[in-house]
A and B are shown apart, each in its own frame.
Chain A
Amino acid sequence: MGVAYKIDSDHAASRTYREALFRCMRGALANHPEAFLLGQGVDDHKGTFGSTIGLAEEFGADRVMDSPLAEESMTGIGIGAALNGLYPIQTHIRADFALLAMNQIVNMAAKYKYMFGGRFEVPMLIRMVIGRSWGQGAQHSQSLQSLFAHVPGLTVIMPATPDAILETYPWIIANHRGPVVSLEHRLLYDIAFRSDDVAAGNDPLTSRLLREGSDVTIVATSIMVLEAKRAAEHLAETAGIEAEVIDLHCVSHPNRAMILDSVTKTGRLIVADTSWKAYGVAAEISRLVCEHDPSVLRAPIATLGMAPAPCPTAKTLEDLYYPTLRSLADTAARVVTGRDDHGVALPEEASMADVYKRFKGPF
């Protein structure tokens, strides 16, 4: 399998995460008369970071609805609309605001089907944007996938690439009859990816194998998938270490067999998540392996995630707060060699925010 994507805005066949989102939003409105967008500022000149720009003019205010600042009722209204024949696509410009809608997401959307014995379905897509860098601070940066994935009845995805968006969103909107929470990463929006046909045909709601390797399995989410790919390429070039990279993608329904087969093959596991490690994706993937057969592990599992604190605003602290390409490469070299002084040259890059230069805030 070749390089699936690069940070490469000049490439002819490249497209950004934002362009993929826009294409899916427009496609939903064009192809599904029952679909509508409901969210704060979806119809304004910035259009949810460019993912909905111009759609209100094209499809009308009834299909692209600005919302009051009322997260709980907006989610509840989405649920009610879904119960009566519409397909709501809701947006939270930061995932943190979705916490105000937890009653409707957890007590209602996740329960409607089961609690009423299968009498109802609530097909809807709730988009939430994770912030990072440029001083997002404690309340514009949270990566809440484990909160949602913990609750049966919700499907939780974290698309890591434009291809993942293009494969998943149209499929969900056309076929999936339940509530889906999608956590999009703000840092990815402006990045151009080389499109890769290899990804086509993936099951939209499960994990994907992005790179084969024999030495260590890296299971990653969202933007950490990019870092895992970059770390894998660096390790292969500089030290001959071959990492297998799995994009978890569907956090609520990981491809268990894919992960277990990979770890059985490599004997080593690193989980690189965008969130806190405790009780989260790192803990869950470790559980899958340990419950299956811990003897397949030739080294202790290693995990990367945010430091166990609210996110600090100062850049010096923020750079320490998040895992980086360097910390991921270092961790992989350590896990594979079994030594802290592994001698593998590490990438120079210290701050991811410096790399993703095209992202300039304020959001």
Chain B
Amino acid sequence: MKFANLHERLFYEALRIRRAEERIIEIYPTDRIQSPVHLSIGQEAIAVGVCEPLRIEDPLFGSYRSHAFFLAKGGSMRDMFAELYGKATGGCGGKAGSMHLTAPEVGFMGSSAVVASTIPNAVGAALAAKRRGTGQVVVTVFGDGATEEGVYHESLNFASLHRLPVLFVCENNGLAVHSKLSDRQSYDLCQHAATYGLPTQRCREGWNFLLVRDEMARAAEEVRSGSGPRFLEYQTYRYQEHVGIGCDHDVGYRSRAALEEWQANDPLLHDSALVDAFDLAIREEIDDAVRFAEESPWPGPEHLLADVA
């Protein structure tokens, strides 16, 4: 695929992620994907904007909501669908499923279902990067809820104390499952992170993948130059329910108006010319991945006790 400019390339990547997750929604009722899925629809611009300035060898650690980052970092569509199907050909041979996607070959270091638990792993990878002089920038991506966990604060402290090359990227969608941020946090995310002595930056236009990309590119360059860790908050909006494929704007915890406000800015919903230009190629890639997943073998008993210790 050839792109006229960076905007087109990022648009393509974001659309690719959305279409992949929309395909998951189509398939899910058949029960062929037997894994809890936490969809990123609405949040794709952050994944593509954050990953664009990164090198393959820059490790990125994610959470259970990581389809978008897996694909944006360069993970293979086939690996992902086969993994979601629980097939032996999946990126992790079917042992990971949706919540533990990983693609170390492109620096996507894995994702954890326990909130905030990969944050210190990223800091440790940054410690190793600094010690070994690898030139890597390490990225940890987490939601606003993760900032309530103690280990997040411990990690900011250590990273700042030792000036480690790590970028803390918070995808703030304002929700922890169904709980609003204002019901959970006594602090302002950026102000609080700044108390650890690291530069912070807030981006309110989490739908704007070029802006997300530009801010990330500047931050990554600073970190790579050895200036220590940084914190980036990207405000965003989750279109689907916390886990599963449904919409839940009718159950009372959030308004449809807020959804519509975000959708009014969502480039993937408005630039029909680019959508039309890219959709066919994207559909072919997803069709191929789904076919690959469906035709692949299941892991057998010989895999049950492999790779335990």
A305 in the interface, Cβ–Cβ < 8 Å? no
Chain B contacts of A108 at CB under 8 A?
112, 114, 117-118, 121
Interface membership of chain A positions 157-170, coded 1 if the CB is closer than 8 angstroms to chain B and 0 otherwise: 00000000000000
Pairs A–B under 8 Å by Cβ, sample size 17? A70-B151, A76-B117, A76-B151, A77-B127, A79-B124, A80-B120, A80-B126, A81-B127, A81-B128, A86-B127, A103-B114, A104-B151, A114-B308, A115-B92, A115-B110, A116-B96, A153-B309
Interface membership of chain B positions 136-164, coded 1 if the CB is closer than 8 angstroms to chain A and 0 otherwise: 10100000000000110011011001000
B102 in the interface, Cβ–Cβ < 8 Å? yes
B131 in the interface, Cβ–Cβ < 8 Å? yes
Contact B94 A117 (CB under 8 A): yes
Contact B132 A86 (CB under 8 A): yes
Contact B96 A104 (CB under 8 A): no
Q: Distance (Å) between the CB of B43 and the closest chain A CB? A: 23
A204 in the interface, Cβ–Cβ < 8 Å? no
Contact A73 B309 (CB under 8 A): no
A52 in the interface, Cβ–Cβ < 8 Å? no
Contact B120 A73 (CB under 8 A): yes
Interface size of A by CB at 8 A reads: 40
Chain B contacts of A85 at CB under 8 A?
128, 132, 134
Q: With A73-B120, A76-B121 as known contacts, state yes or no: A118 contacts B309, CB within 8 Å.
A: no
In Å, the complex CA distance between A86 and B133 comes to 12
Name B residues whose Cβ lies closer than 8 Å to a Cβ of A: 59, 61, 90-96, 100, 102, 104, 109-110, 112, 114, 117-129, 131-132, 134, 136, 138, 150-151, 154-155, 157-158, 161, 306-309
Contact B114 A72 (CB under 8 A): no
Chain A contacts of B150 at CB under 8 A?
72
Residue from B92, B125, B138, B151 in contact with A103 in the complex, judged by beta carbons closer than 8 Å: B151
Contact A77 B155 (CB under 8 A): yes
Chain B contacts of A112 at CB under 8 A?
110
Contact B124 A115 (CB under 8 A): no
Which chain B residue lies CB-closest to A110? B309
Contact B309 A155 (CB under 8 A): yes
A62 in the interface, Cβ–Cβ < 8 Å? yes
Chain B contacts of A178 at CB under 8 A?
309
**With contacts defined as CB atoms under 8 Å apart, how many contacts are there between chain A and chain B in the complex?**
149
Residue from B109, B112, B155, B307 in contact with A73 in the complex, judged by beta carbons closer than 8 Å: B155
A49 in the interface, Cβ–Cβ < 8 Å? no
Residue from A68, A76, A80, A113 in contact with B308 in the complex, judged by beta carbons closer than 8 Å: A113
A31 in the interface, Cβ–Cβ < 8 Å? no
A339 in the interface, Cβ–Cβ < 8 Å? no
Q: Distance (Å) between the CB of B306 and the closest chain A CB? A: 7
A316 in the interface, Cβ–Cβ < 8 Å? no
A295 in the interface, Cβ–Cβ < 8 Å? no
Which chain B residue lies CB-closest to A82? B124
A357 in the interface, Cβ–Cβ < 8 Å? no
Interface membership of chain A positions 80-95, coded 1 if the CB is closer than 8 angstroms to chain B and 0 otherwise: 1111111010000000
Contact B96 A103 (CB under 8 A): no
Contact A78 B124 (CB under 8 A): yes
A136 in the interface, Cβ–Cβ < 8 Å? no
Contact A73 B96 (CB under 8 A): no
In Å, the complex CA distance between A75 and B131 comes to 18
Chain A contacts of B92 at CB under 8 A?
115-119
Chain B contacts of A80 at CB under 8 A?
61, 120-128, 138
Contact B131 A76 (CB under 8 A): no
Q: Distance (Å) between the CB of A261 and the closest chain B CB? A: 24
In Å, the complex CA distance between A75 and B151 comes to 10
Q: With A86-B128, A152-B309 as known contacts, state yes or no: A70 contacts B117, CB within 8 Å.
A: no
In Å, the complex CA distance between A86 and B100 comes to 23
In Å, the complex CA distance between A153 and B124 comes to 20
